[in-house]
Every structure is written in structure tokens, then in C-alpha cells.
A and B are shown apart, each in its own frame.
Chain A
Amino acid sequence: MTIMKILTTKGSNPTIALKQFHRYLNTTNKLSLLNQIELAPPDKILGLTETFNNDVNPSKVNLTVGIYKDNHGKVTTFPSIAKAQKLIDRELGLNKNLSYLPIKGGKDYAENVKHFLYDESCSPTNNLIEGNRNNYGKQLLDNDRISFAQTLSGTGALAISAKFLALFISKKVWIPNFSWANHMNIFNKNGFRDIHYYSYYDVKSGQLTVDAWLKDLKEKVSKDKSPEPHCIILHACCHNPTGLDPTREDWDKIIDTINELKMIPIIDMAYQGLESGDLIKDAYLLRKCINPKYVWDNGLFLCQSFAKNMGLYGERVGSLSIVAPSHSQPRVKEAVDSQLKRIIRSIYSSPPGYGSRVASLVLSDPDLKSQWFKDVTVMVNRLQGIRDQLSSNLDWSTVNDSQQHGMFYFTRFPLPVVQELRDKYSLYLTDDGRLSLSGINDSNIEYICDTFKKIENQSK
């Protein structure tokens, strides 16, 4: 109805007509608001699985999602995890109680994870690799400087970090170019105003660009005279999507620089154990950052996940730690804890229980834990075997590069090639050319290598 119609039909009583019209506008407005909502683009990675599922080609291969599959193409539960599940289900009676966890998660889970991350993963024997004799992580625990929360895996940890930082400390973050597609989305949707990208990787050469990275930071961060510090996301190991990590020497330079620039490190540790097959060894970036020679004035953030290294993907098990600087007031930890609680309480009240019970049991039972360490090694050995096969079958020199780690290989295929692989050969990579290695197995490696050869010959 238009205004004219309303005014003419209700013309005899202008007051009613106006009220009617007001309501008409309001209703229209309400409906059109809903109608104006735009279609958000589908998620770049998880959307592809849907396309893949609808593909009828019997040779189709899904190399998109970062889920570990065994040599039979199956997603299996690690032996350590399966055993823990059985214990929970049959013997411990733990699962009889599905009560609410505390807002920041279970106490046992917190103790076990903190012990694993800051005591074991930072223990002196391992620190010797980096020339340290002190267990600085243990000291952090002893001095009670870590605010800790169980989170919905790595994403949950990053989202809570973003909300916390945006509320109190900073709305500026640096993300590597390339990075996990969701990093930008998480910070953008949780209150961050300035999102910058630092040079990380050169597609042409397939090399890291550490010098350009540091130059970016030095030029832009030091020029910013506002008191609001800058945050920076660092991939702890197995960089996603390139699979290429800085060397230990490069990391020293990088950490020196971000410390000089008074930046706030946000360590995203989603793949601990998947670099070397040794869970402890892979925590090197955490160990380097907590060395007391670096003072992080506005805290150090660790976002950690058991999705990949325990294979607990969909159970959403992870954690957030905020490490307060040594010079902060002693009350800071409790104040931070209370704010984390408020943030979490208004988003989801308390985290899900099941996955955290499994993880906690694996971490607290010596037998299960040593089995878990073995499970991770088995997984990483299989990934290494695939790299070896790819490198011997194809002319891919970088696939076996010593800095090339984790679940992914970055093919550097341009988008048209990725699309051709998908459309013509039913071989699915993500749009950026990332290939998930564990999707490759004895039954499809020949097809995959032949297809890649064909594609590469074409482009020559």
C-alpha cells in the first residue's frame, strides 16, 4: 500500500490514517531490514566439502579440510583417545554426570593443560635445545601469572582474546599474509578496528619473506604514535596455509623486533606436535616468548587447540592463556580472570564437557599420555611419508624442505588451476592452493601425481 492509498482509504479520519501509515512504514521497514540482509559468502574451506560430497566422480579426492585421515582415507580416533573414551564410558562413571562446568571450564582440565603447556612443554631438558637451563614456564605457574580458560578449541580462544583485547587494550592486529582465512573474520567480528597484514610468504619463490615482514612492522608500527599497542598473530608451528615456518634463528630476530615495538604476541598453537612428531619439541615459540629477557608489557596470549593433535576436532577442546607481565600488579590476574568470566558468560555461559574430559584424562594418566605421544609420532611419520612420495614422484623440490611442516602443502597453483583440478579431475584443494596431505593414501596417490603432472605439463 502506498501513502496515497492509505490516505484515501482512511481519508475520513486523518489521525487513524496517519497512525496506519506510521505502522505501514514501520512494518515495511522491519520487513525490508530483513530483506536487505546480504548473502554472506560461503566459508572458503568448509563450503568445499559440500561441493565435494555432491561430486559423482568415483576418483574424487578431498584435499581441503585439515582433518587427519589414515592410509585408508578414514578419520579414525587415536588409540590413546579411544582408550580414554572407553574408560570414561565404562569404568569411571564420569559420563554419568553431564553437569555444567564452571564458566572458565573444568578445574582438572585447567590443571592438566597448564601443567602440559607450561611445565612439560617448557621443561629444561627441552629448553637445552634453545640454550636455556631454566623452566620459565614452571616459574610462571608458580608465580600464578597465567589467567587460563578452557575454550571452544582454537577459534574460541582467539575469539575470547579478541573480545578481551578490544574491550581493554587494543583494537589493532597484524595477521600474516597468508594466514588461516578465519583469523581476519574472528578479529573483525569481535571488535577489532585496524587489521593489518605483514609480509610472510612470496608466492613466486615459495620462500618466506622474514626481512620484509620485519620491515613492515618497523616502518608502520613505530610510526604509530597512539598509546594503543599493536597485537600480532604468530603461528606457533606448521603455518597455515603455507606449511612453511621461520627457522629458530629467524624467530629470535622476529621476537626481538616485536618486543622492541611493544607489540602484544598472540600465539596461535593449533598444531603442536605436527611439525616434528614430538609434542614437546614443537612448543619452541612458546618457550622463546616466555623467556624473561622479553617483557610483554601488555601480556602474552596463547591460543591453543587439541583439535589436530588429539583428533578431537568437533568436540571443541582448547584453551586461552593470558600471561601477565612480571611488573604488573599482583591483583591483575584475578581482575583478568573476572573479565574473562564476564565475556564467556555472555557468549555461551560455560564450555562443553565431553571432549575436555577425554583430553584431561589423557593428560593425567601416564600410560594414556605416552600412548598419545606415540599416536602423534605415527601421524607425523605418515605425513612425512606422503611428502617423500610426492617429492620422488613429482618435480616438487619444496615439499620436503626442512622448514616445511604440518598437515598442509602450499602448491602455489593459481586459482584457475585449482578450479580446473576441481572441475575436470575432481581433485579438491582450497582456493589458495593449499593441499591437505593426509587426504593422500596408497589408493589415490597415483591418480593425484598423474593429475598434477598433467596440469603442470599443460602450463609449460
Chain B
Amino acid sequence: MSQLTILNEIEQLPADALFGIKQRYGQDDRATKVDLGIGAYRDNTGKPWLLPAVRAAEQKIHSDVATYNHEYLPITGLPALTKGAAQVLFGEELVNEHSDRIVTVQSISGTGALHIAAKFLSKFFSSKKIYLSDPTWANHKAIFEAQGLTTTTYPYWNAATKSLRFQEFLHAIETAPEGSVFVLHACAHNPTGLDPTEEQWTELIDAIAKYDHIALFDSAYQGFASGSLSKDAYAVRLGMKKLALASPILVCQSFAKNVGMYGERVGCFHIVLPNQSEETTAVVKPAVQSQLAKIVRSEVSNPPAYGAKIVGTILADDVLTNQWYTDMITMSSRIQTMRVSLRNALINLKTPGTWDHIVEQCGMFSFTGLSPEMVKRLEEEHAVYMVGSGRASIAGLNEGNVEYVANAIDEVVRHYLTQSKL
């Protein structure tokens, strides 16, 4: 053997881009610095915001001395969470109507749900091709490919016009091998912040139904796009109504952003089974549930309790649920205000280019259209951090730094404009 240890042959990988930004930002000791990297909500003072609903739920949990302990949760998760999560996603009406066809397991936030989906697909539908939007969240590809699945992309974002490549998206659905899996961002598309309109969703989902594809919704920002849970669940609910007649639909749900559970890792994975005879469903549902449980058992045994209890408590208590609705509006409206402030500031500065897309996009991010070299210069010269693709987390802006950021963007845009003329 040439090497004493196989370990010597292991290749070193580059750092994860997003977590790398966080690290560099942490080490940056310039007095003024702005983190528009990772998608986490910040309040108007730039601090993480503990939702009042979360604080109230925590107090409720801790004060219940007789029942609060750290016992294992069931493998499939905390019932209060899984039940409440399905209601949030599908709405009470659809849940009541189709509860016998909905299988839900708690997951380690959105990534964990996507991972379970990938593992499930690779075990039972391994020949399916996975279609991801171009561009998409950086981790999507890795999650599916790590399970041996083949991924490809569908057109989504037109960088020149900063709009949706709708016809090409539709065409991709029509020409994909029948029975492919389409990963759809349920709302607040990451990274572009651009969603199809309701009419466009109808056409897209009709096409998916027509060609017998399987829809996998990634719902990481419900409530963040519009401030309304039901409005932001439009695509998922439409999918459930139109698709679940013939094929299963899969939904990966995260409470990281909308309840601010980021580091507590709270989410759910749902499968809505196709509409078949009651007898068949009665056999298929427990079978699917048992296989999902086996996946969970082989990786984490049972999901983490603390965050699940917080979200479960909020969803089971009307007062807390209403507080949470208010909290979501607080967050989404602040972000909207910042979009307007940034756009206005850039227009006032007469920064070359158009900036209306910042206001038209929704959710946490704006796909600014800044080039990788501009992003690099923003970081190096101005200590403004964002993802190389030009994705900026608008939640990182506040009244205290939005002017600074606008000036920084203005400088880098003009810098490269001048350079290209030289």
C-alpha cells in the first residue's frame, strides 16, 4: 500500500459559501459592517428577533413543571407539532377533508425534510429525475445528489429582464420525461424573491398534472412573502387540489424563518397520498409512515424536542397563534419597508441601472443583479456581505444602515462601469 492510511487520500473541500460568509463577517473588525448573507430575520437594530409568540410559548412550557422534561419524542415527532404543521400548510378545510391521506413526520427543519424526501425518493422512485429551478437554493442539488438521485434544472430567472422565464419553465414541464419530480419553491423563491402569479401557478400545476410529474414543494418562507399564511400557501393548496388525485405530492416545511426557529431545527415532511380507494389508502398510509420512521430512526433516532415544543405550543393555543400571525406581519412589513428604502436611496443616488425589482420581489431576499465582482468589492471595500450570486438578505437592512448600503452599492456599480469604459 502506498499510504499507511486511507485518510491521507481524502480531498479537502472548499468551505460552504453561506457559512463562509458568516465566518468572514464574524472576523471582520471594521466599525461599520453589514451582513446581508444568511437568510435570518433581524430587527430594526440589526439584532436577531425572538418572536413574542415564541417567548410566551417558552414561558408556558417552562412553567408547566409537572410535565416539562426532556423525554424522547416519538420517532415521527411531537403530535402537537405534526398536526398543527399540516393545518398551517394545507389549511383546516383541506386537512379535514383529506386527513386520511396526509402523512407527516417531524424533520430537522427544511434541510432535514428535503433529506427525508430525497432518501424516500431514492428508495422507492430511484429512476425519477429531480428538476430544480435555475437558480435555486445552493443546498438543493447537494441534498438530492447525496442520495444518488440525478438532478437537472428548469429555466426560472431571466437575469436580463429580472423576470420569470415562464414559457420556458412551462416548456420544461412539458418536455421532461413523464413522472419526473419537480421541486417547486412554494413562495418567496430563494434566491430570486420572484414567484409565479396565481394564474401562472394554475398553468404550471395543470401541466405537471398533465404529464404525470410529481410535485415537491419546498415551503421555507410561508407567511414571509405576504404576511399571510394562507396567501403564501396558494401554490401548495392548489397542488393538493389539482395533483393529489393521481399522484402523491411531497411538501418540505420549515419553521426556521416564519417562527424564527432557525437554530432549533423545526420542520416537517408531508406526503399527501393520491386519491385511491379507502382500502388501498388504509394499507398505503401506514406503510409509507413506517418507512419514513425507519429513515428517521437510522439517522437521529428521534427529532429534537425543544423547538418542536415551542412551535407545537404556539399552534395548539389560539392566543399564541394569533400573536404569531401578528409577529409575521411585523417581520414581513419591516422587510417590505426596507425594500422601498433601498430602492428609493438608489434612485436618489442616480445609481446606474434599474432598481424596481427590489420592491417587486418578495420574501427575505432580493436578487439584486449585482455581479460576483461587485459583490466581492462590496465586501472588501465596504464590509457589506452578500452571496456571490448577488442575493441580498433584505432582513439585514435597517434604518441605521440602509443609506450606507445604498452608497456602497452605488460606489461598486459606478466603479465597474468606469472600469468597463476604460
Selecting from B13-21, B231-239, B316-324, the interface stretch reads: B13-21
Q: Are B142 and A314 in contact (CB under 8 A)?
A: no
What mask results when residues 389 to 417 of chain B are scored 1 for a CB within 8 Å of chain A, else 0?
00000000000000000000000000000
Selecting from B162-170, B290-298, B340-348, the interface stretch reads: B290-298
B134 to chain A, nearest CB (A): 20
Selecting from A203-211, A323-331, A409-417, A444-452, the interface stretch reads: A323-331
Is A42 an interface residue, CB under 8 A from the partner?
yes
Q: Which residues on B sit within 8 Å (CB–CB) of A168?
A: 6-7, 9-10
What mask results when residues 102 to 125 of chain A are scored 1 for a CB within 8 Å of chain B, else 0?
110000000000000000000000
Q: Which residue of A lies closest to B119 (CB)?
A: A189
Q: Which residue of A lies closest to B266 (CB)?
A: A352
- Contact partner of A345 (CB less than 8 A), chosen from B4, B16, B62, B300, is B16
Is B380 an interface residue, CB under 8 A from the partner?
no
Quick one: given A40-B293, A346-B142, A352-B307, are A339 and B300 in contact (CB under 8 Å)?
A: no
Q: How far is the CA of A316 from the CA of B105 in the complex (A)?
A: 17
Q: Which residues on A sit within 8 Å (CB–CB) of B139?
A: 345-346, 349
Quick one: given A347-B299, A348-B109, are A40 and B290 in contact (CB under 8 Å)?
A: yes
Is A92 an interface residue, CB under 8 A from the partner?
no
Q: How far is the CA of A405 from the CA of B274 in the complex (A)?
A: 50
Q: Are B125 and A332 in contact (CB under 8 A)?
A: no
Q: Are B300 and A46 in contact (CB under 8 A)?
A: no
Q: Are A156 and B299 in contact (CB under 8 A)?
A: yes
Is A39 an interface residue, CB under 8 A from the partner?
yes
Q: Are A23 and B297 in contact (CB under 8 A)?
A: no
Q: How far is the CA of A313 from the CA of B16 in the complex (A)?
A: 30
Q: Are B50 and A345 in contact (CB under 8 A)?
A: no
Q: Are A30 and B212 in contact (CB under 8 A)?
A: yes
Q: How far is the CA of A436 from the CA of B294 in the complex (A)?
A: 23
Is A128 an interface residue, CB under 8 A from the partner?
no
- Contact partner of A189 (CB less than 8 A), chosen from B23, B111, B246, B298, is B298
Q: Which residues on A sit within 8 Å (CB–CB) of B287?
A: 37-40
Q: Which residues on A sit within 8 Å (CB–CB) of B70?
A: 75, 77, 81, 311-315, 355
What mask results when residues 284 to 317 of chain B are scored 1 for a CB within 8 Å of chain A, else 0?
1011101101110111111111110000000000
Is A341 an interface residue, CB under 8 A from the partner?
yes
Q: How far is the CA of A81 from the CA of B70 in the complex (A)?
A: 10
Q: Which residues on A sit within 8 Å (CB–CB) of B305?
A: 314-316
Q: How many residues of B contact A (CB 8 A)?
A: 82
Is B8 an interface residue, CB under 8 A from the partner?
yes
What mask results when residues 297 to 329 of chain A are scored 1 for a CB within 8 Å of chain B, else 0?
111000000000001111110000000110111
Q: Which residue of A lies closest to B112 (CB)?
A: A348
Q: Which residue of A lies closest to B267 (CB)?
A: A348
Is B229 an interface residue, CB under 8 A from the partner?
no
Is A381 an interface residue, CB under 8 A from the partner?
no
Q: Which residue of B lies closest to A65 (CB)?
A: B72
Is A153 an interface residue, CB under 8 A from the partner?
yes
Quick one: given A67-B72, A336-B10, A345-B139, are A155 and B299 in contact (CB under 8 Å)?
A: yes
Is B11 an interface residue, CB under 8 A from the partner?
yes
Is B376 an interface residue, CB under 8 A from the partner?
no
Is A280 an interface residue, CB under 8 A from the partner?
no
What mask results when residues 2 to 37 of chain B are scored 1 for a CB within 8 Å of chain A, else 0?
001111111111111001001100000000000000
Q: Which residues on B sit within 8 Å (CB–CB) of A76?
A: 69
Q: Which residue of B lies closest to A165 (CB)?
A: B6
Q: Are B304 and A185 in contact (CB under 8 A)?
A: no
Quick one: given A103-B19, A315-B306, A335-B10, are A98 and B260 in contact (CB under 8 Å)?
A: yes
A293 to chain B, nearest CB (A): 17
Q: Which residues on B sit within 8 Å (CB–CB) of A89?
A: 58, 62
Q: Which residue of A lies closest to B38 (CB)?
A: A100
What mask results when residues 55 to 89 of chain A are scored 1 for a CB within 8 Å of chain B, else 0?
00000000001010000000111000100010001
What mask results when residues 239 to 281 of chain B are scored 1 for a CB within 8 Å of chain A, else 0?
0000000111000000010001111110000000110100010
A372 to chain B, nearest CB (A): 14
Quick one: given A27-B246, A98-B264, are A338 and B13 in contact (CB under 8 Å)?
A: yes
Q: Which residues on A sit within 8 Å (CB–CB) of B5?
A: 297-299, 324-325, 327-328, 332
Q: How far is the CA of A102 from the CA of B142 in the complex (A)?
A: 18
Q: Which residues on A sit within 8 Å (CB–CB) of B178?
A: 22-23, 26
B124, B276, B301 — which one has the most chain A CB atoms within 10 A of its CB? B301
B374 to chain A, nearest CB (A): 26
Q: Which residues on A sit within 8 Å (CB–CB) of B58?
A: 89, 95
Q: Are B7 and A328 in contact (CB under 8 A)?
A: yes
Quick one: given A98-B48, A325-B7, are A352 and B264 in contact (CB under 8 Å)?
A: yes
Q: How far is the CA of A208 from the CA of B388 in the complex (A)?
A: 59
Q: Which residues on B sit within 8 Å (CB–CB) of A352?
A: 108, 263-265, 304, 306-307
Q: Which residues on B sit within 8 Å (CB–CB) of A176?
A: none
Q: Are B7 and A324 in contact (CB under 8 A)?
A: yes
Q: Are B301 and A155 in contact (CB under 8 A)?
A: yes
Q: How far is the CA of A182 from the CA of B298 in the complex (A)?
A: 7
Is B146 an interface residue, CB under 8 A from the partner?
yes
Q: Are A31 and B307 in contact (CB under 8 A)?
A: no
A218 to chain B, nearest CB (A): 21
Quick one: given A40-B290, A101-B263, A325-B5, are A75 and B302 in contact (CB under 8 Å)?
A: no
Pairs across A and B, CB under 8 Å, 13 listed: A34-B284, A38-B287, A40-B291, A42-B290, A43-B293, A96-B50, A98-B262, A99-B40, A316-B300, A334-B12, A338-B13, A339-B13, A350-B263
Q: Which 4 A-B pairs have the closest CB atoms?
A: A314-B305, A189-B298, A354-B306, A348-B108
Chain B residues within 8 Å of A, Cβ to Cβ: 1, 4-16, 19, 22-23, 38, 40, 48, 50, 54, 58, 62, 68-75, 108-109, 111-112, 115, 124-125, 139, 142-143, 146, 178-179, 212, 214, 246-248, 256, 260-265, 273-274, 276, 280, 283-284, 286-288, 290-291, 293-295, 297-307
